[in-house]
Amino acid sequence: MSLDLYARLLRNYILLSLLLILSCQIQAQSALKLLIQEKDQSIFWSKINAEKNKIVDNQKDTATFIISKNQTLDSLCRIVLKTFREQSYLAASIDGLTFLPDSSALGTFWLGPSMRLVHLKPANPIVESLLNATRTRLHRYQDAPLDYQEILQLERRLLVQAENNGYPFAQVFLDSIEVLEEGKVSAQLQVNLNRFFSFKELKIIGDVRLPKYYLPNYLGLHQGMPYSRSRVLKLKNQLQSLLFLETSSNPTVTFSGSEATVNLFLKKKKASRFDFIIGILPQPNNTDGRLLLTGSISAAFQNALSLGERFSIDLERLKPETQKLDVSAAVPYLLGTPFGVDGQLGIYKRDSTWVDAQSDIGIQYLFIGGDYLRILWENKSASLQKIDTAQVLASHRLPENLDYKQNSFGAETSFTRLDYRFNPRKGWSLLLKSTAGVNRVIRNNQ
């Protein structure tokens, strides 16, 4: 065997041995034993949850924790310390960790004093304005055990208020912290707003064609408005309610100078349809062999004119002399305003007996996300085409259906808070409609 080959084998053997030794040293510990100071013992056992933290040995001066398979020594120490720090013992610590031959770890637990927040005040008028905007009163945090989770919630509340009012890079923190005797703490609540940002524009990246005013009105993001993080986070869900487009990626924001540009990654989605059925039937009571053309047409168009409009028509004639027609159309954001117009028409003819007609036209005031308030005019009418006068004279009763006309004005409102409008799993939807008008029965000349 050559010296080079022997040297390589020896080097590999040494490396393998070192790896085995290291793996034995860093293998997961099976238990953590904590020595508890005599002055801390009563508080320790009253605050710790022995069952939850898997304490198997609860001697007065020693607590032994089992380290589960999905746990590490470090994570268990953090859990134990978190238990006490959430109960105002912020100085709690585990010191002097050593490893014993039985694969357990031994350390000393120090509890420290119970922290009490005796003085908390706003550092400047900016903090006071944010506190007023969130209706937060600092006195509820004073002269009480210092709960750092509550302090974090307070800071988060102020941070959200700042982020939604033009300051996406604001910072909220405790400043001038002083620890006095017996664990008493004094601090100031500080806010650094940093640079103010306003919305510049909505930038569409994709093949969707819409008027420039459509998405700013629909999403509620207009040029010059203070930047709002919550509005940006809602964009994807709001866009899902538009049938004629879909998002190819999450919206992003580009900050430049003091302006924020929202990038929307949109592509066209096939939302229009055109269906028809055509049939031929022999005409009843017809001896010359003529055939009757029957069928139905159903069509719906979304954003066909790149105005965000919708139009639908349903025409049906499946039986002789029975016809049905339904037409509806809507155009939102007329001339860039939050107003839109819509209308519907429905006609139903039943054999040669009667004809029903219903129509309405309305003006909508559109809120963010498609909610609306609508003022409408509605017209309904019915006309008898054939009356059995002999039956009327014999029974001395009018037919069930009479000629009438009904004109009414009303209001309609719709608010929707669904996770997905077309296939919701949670949320709510509200539709209210009220009309008032005049109903007149018309004399039939037959």
Identify the domain boundary among 158, 173, 192.
192
Domain that holds residue 147: 116-192
* Residue 433 CB neighbour total at 10 angstroms: 12
224 and 312 housed in the same domain: no
| Domain-embedded: residue 446 | no
pLDDT for position 227: 97
- Pair 283, 412 in one domain: yes
Q: What's the CA gap between 97 and 34, in Å, rounded? A: 9
For the cut 80, the answer to whether the pLDDT of residue 105 exceeds it is: yes
pLDDT tens-digit readout, 310-320: 999 999 988 77
- Whether residues 153 and 55 share a domain: the answer is no
pLDDT band at 3 (very low <50, low <70, confident <90, very high): very low
pLDDT attached to residue 390 = 56
Q: Which of 226, 241, 268 is the last residue of a domain?
A: 268
Q: In a 3-state reduction of DSSP, which class is residue 191?
A: strand
What pLDDT sits at residue 346? 94
Which of the pair, 439 or 29, is modelled with greater confidence? 439
pLDDT at residue 399, as a whole number = 59
Identify the pLDDT of residue 300. Answer: 95
Q: Are residues 184 and 288 in the same domain?
A: no
* 300 shares a domain with 395: yes
Lookup result for tokens 């229009």: 272
The answer to whether residues 183 and 190 touch, using CB atoms and an 8 Å cutoff, is: no
Strand, helix or coil at 417? strand
* pTM, two decimal places: 0.73
Last-in-domain residue among 192, 222, 252: 192
Residue 11 belongs to a domain = no
CA angle 219, 266, 198 (to 5 degrees): 40
Mark whether 286 and 395 lie in a shared domain. Answer: yes
pLDDT at 236: 92
Of 20-34, 100-114, 206-220, 419-433, the poorest mean pLDDT is in: 20-34
232: CB partners within 8 A, 6+ apart: 251, 253, 262
Q: Contacts from 89-95 at CB under 8 Å and sequence distance 24+? A: 89/43, 89/47, 89/113, 89/114, 89/115, 90/115, 90/146, 90/148, 91/115, 91/183, 94/34
- Average pLDDT (353-363) is 89
Closest CA to 320 of 293, 355, 347: 293
Same domain, 182 and 325: no
Average the pLDDT over 55-63 and give the result.
76
Structural domain count, the chain: 4
Residues facing residue 161 across a β-bridge: none
Q: How far is Cα 293 from Cα 282, in angstroms, rounded to an integer?
A: 9
